């Protein structure tokens, strides 16, 4: 509930500045905002947390985010993207939950792998400490030892980053066995730092059953009751709903859940997640953050303009995303977001067509599926399924002047297609899916050959590339001689084939600083044929779209109008 007390003691006093509550002596206390969820998964806790952080960061605060996942994997790197969603890769090489994409895009920060806690990481740390004798003969228990480890990690990250505000998102829903220790750690954190330094936000679901046309509060009531059983009283409740919450439902949730009516906020279904900070501001979140936590918050003016541009495009293109994980859009979440960023900055509606390449058996099949398409993206991936279909798609784009962007695996397949159909190496392939190929134009990185473990062992994180003078790619990166993008791969364009590929017209527009790894390719005399070994979508932001995506959409607009 909203606090109306004017806290004052011999140790602390409230200083209503643009920042925080100050300790006597001048040291600022870190604020914590804990976001939990109830009723069902997939409600959008990550977007809600990022949207709150967006408002707080705009107020001049340094905001960082911690995500707590309940699974026993150390990280999501070995998970199938159709099951878990996209693996988000950070500059430091961390493979983390896709919500970190929201944090970076909304907060304008570069996250660290240490900000993603999984139960796999936590238990691994506890086990190491126990074997080392750190617990001094005590019986190691889930509470307090594991929950204390989690809470201490919160403080460690906050101190290391010198954060004004730390967002903590607890994955899953209240009542899940997997997140009980995280919730206990967050409860204990509140007792430790004091109520003036912590804010509990609970996201729930407010359904409108078919044939009833009435918003229902019972799922929210039950979810909040479960949270209270675990010792946490929420200060703000966000009700995810297809409509704005009515005064009646706000009043009911307020009465039964023990929060002020004005602290019941609509988490409205939106077309674009970037609308949510504006919705929260309209619903009174800025005043709540200032009154409840003493932090200054506001809307970012350029954010408002870009959201308006998202909502009212003036042009239109259709992009085909040709992959094999099309059963779940979250498999390509950052690519989708990168296209939204282009939409906002180019005032262009981008219709995305997902094409599963598994059943494409010829260039004619590909050409038929690409009718009406203005541009094509072949994204990253692994394994043999759908590979030949993607190669047919690449050929169709190259021969028919369809703007094309190949990402990671997409670059490698573009090289294979070029080797087969331009260089005359008819059986060219990658040793990833054809170890017996006579022409391995794509081969495993030398340092990967002796690696046995799968998790966290790829070429991961940000790497710089030298860009060729006069190339389209260098032009797209603003004429700069270097570009740094994030990577996640084990295979490379085989250096033994560099000469024949370039001799036949493939331009290596970006190489690793030692000249051995092909980071960017392009074809001259084509409207737009670009590939990168990196994942540029991971660093794309609403205010600054990824250059290669921006270039693709511009090329589509130019070719469709000619």
Which positions are catalytic? 408, 535, 537
Give the span between the Cα atoms of 354 and 59, in whole angstroms: 39
Residue 305 contacts by C-beta under 8 Å, 6 or more apart in sequence? none
How far the first Cα of the chain sits from its last, in Å, is 60
| 3-class secondary-structure state, position 400 | coil
DSSP 29: P
CA dihedral 375, 380, 384, 390 (to 10 degrees): 10
**Token pair recorded at residue 199:** 């804010």
Work out whether strand 518-522 and strand 529-532 pair parallel, antiparallel, or are unpaired: antiparallel
Give the span between the Cα atoms of 209 and 218, in whole angstroms: 12
Instruction: Return the closest-CA partner of residue 100 out of 176, 171, 196.
Output: 171
Q: How far is CA 444 from CA 385, 453, 560, in A?
A: 18, 15, 38
Give the span between the Cα atoms of 107 and 260, in whole angstroms: 28
173-176-181 Cα angle (round to 5): 100
Residue 335 contacts by C-beta under 8 Å, 6 or more apart in sequence? 321, 377, 379, 407, 537
| 3-class secondary-structure state, position 507 | strand
In three state form, how does the secondary structure of 175-221 look? CCHHHHHHHHHHHHHHHHHCHHHEEEEEEEECCCCCCCCCCCCHHHH
DSSP 75: S
Bridge-partner residues for 522, per DSSP? 507, 530
* Cis geometry, peptide bond prior to residue 43 (ω within 30 degrees of 0): no
**551 φ/ψ angles, rounded to the nearest 5 degrees:** -65, -40
CA atoms 409, 510, 335, 178: torsion sign: positive
Give the span between the Cα atoms of 252 and 264, in whole angstroms: 10
| 3-class secondary-structure state, position 28 | strand
| 3-class secondary-structure state, position 82 | helix
DSSP 440: E
**Token pair recorded at residue 203:** 């996201």
Give the span between the Cα atoms of 254 and 248, in whole angstroms: 10
Give the span between the Cα atoms of 253 and 115, in whole angstroms: 33
Determine contact, residues 224/237, Cβ cutoff 8 Å: yes
The number of beta carbons lying within 10 Å of the beta carbon of residue 19 is 18
């Amino acid at each position: 509930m909203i606090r109306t007390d004017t806290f004052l003691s011999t140790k602390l006093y409230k200083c209503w500045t643009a920042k925080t509550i100050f300790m006597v002596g001048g040291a600022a206390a870190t604020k914590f905002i804990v976001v939990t969820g109830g009723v069902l998964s997939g409600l959008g806790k990550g977007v809600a947390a990022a949207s709150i952080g967006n408002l707080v960061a705009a107020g001049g605060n340094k905001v960082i985010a911690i995500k707590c996942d309940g699974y026993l994997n150390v990280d999501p790197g070995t998970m199938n993207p159709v099951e878990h969603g996209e693996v988000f890769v950070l500059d430091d090489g961390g493979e983390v939950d896709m919500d970190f994409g929201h944090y970076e895009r909304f907060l304008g920060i570069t996250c660290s792998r240490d900000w993603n806690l999984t139960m796999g990481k936590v238990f691994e740390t506890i086990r190491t400490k126990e074997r080392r004798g750190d617990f001094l003969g005590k019986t190691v228990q889930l509470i307090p030892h594991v929950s204390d480890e989690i809470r201490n990690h919160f403080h460690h990250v906050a101190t290391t980053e010198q954060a004004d505000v730390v967002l903590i998102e607890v994955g899953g829903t209240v009542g899940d066995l997997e997140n009980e220790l995280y919730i206990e750690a967050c409860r204990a954190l509140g007792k430790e730092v004091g109520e003036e330094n912590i804010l509990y936000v609970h996201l729930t679901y407010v359904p409108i059953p078919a044939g009833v046309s009435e918003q229902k509060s019972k799922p929210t009531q039950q979810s909040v009751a479960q949270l209270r059983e675990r010792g946490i009283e929420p200060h703000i409740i966000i009700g995810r709903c297809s409509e704005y919450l009515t005064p009646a439902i706000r009043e009911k949730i307020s009465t039964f859940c023990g929060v002020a009516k004005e602290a019941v906020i609509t988490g409205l279904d939106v077309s674009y997640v970037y609308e949510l900070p504006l919705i929260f501001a309209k619903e009174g979140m800025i005043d709540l953050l200032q009154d409840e936590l003493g932090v200054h918050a506001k809307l970012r003016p350029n954010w408002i303009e870009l959201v308006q541009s998202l909502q009212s495009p003036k042009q239109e293109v259709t992009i085909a995303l040709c992959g094999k994980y099309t059963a779940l859009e979250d498999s390509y979440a950052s690519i989708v977001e990168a296209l939204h960023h282009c939409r906002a900055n180019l005032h262009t509606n981008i219709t995305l067509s997902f094409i599963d390449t598994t059943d494409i058996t010829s260039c004619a099949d590909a050409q038929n599926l690409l009718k009406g398409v203005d541009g094509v993206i072949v994204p990253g991936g692994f394994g043999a399924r759908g590979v030949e279909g993607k190669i047919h798609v690449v050929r169709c784009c190259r021969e028919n002047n369809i703007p094309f962007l190949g990402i990671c695996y997409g670059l490698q397949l573009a090289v294979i297609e070029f080797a087969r159909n331009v260089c005359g190496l008819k059986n060219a392939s990658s040793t990833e899916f054809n170890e017996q190929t006579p022409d391995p134009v794509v081969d495993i990185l030398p340092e990967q050959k002796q690696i046995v473990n799968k998790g966290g062992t790829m070429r991961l994180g940000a790497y710089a590339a030298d860009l060729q003078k006069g190339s389209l790619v260098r032009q797209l990166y603003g004429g700069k001689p270097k570009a740094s993008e994030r990577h996640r791969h084990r295979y490379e364009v085989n250096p033994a084939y560099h000469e024949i590929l370039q001799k036949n017209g493939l331009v290596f527009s970006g190489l690793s600083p030692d000249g051995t790894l092909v980071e960017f390719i392009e074809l001259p005399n084509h409207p737009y044929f670009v590939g990168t070994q990196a994942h540029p979508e991971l660093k794309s932001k609403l205010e600054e779209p990824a250059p290669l995506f921006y270039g693709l959409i511009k090329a589509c607009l130019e070719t469709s109008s000619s």
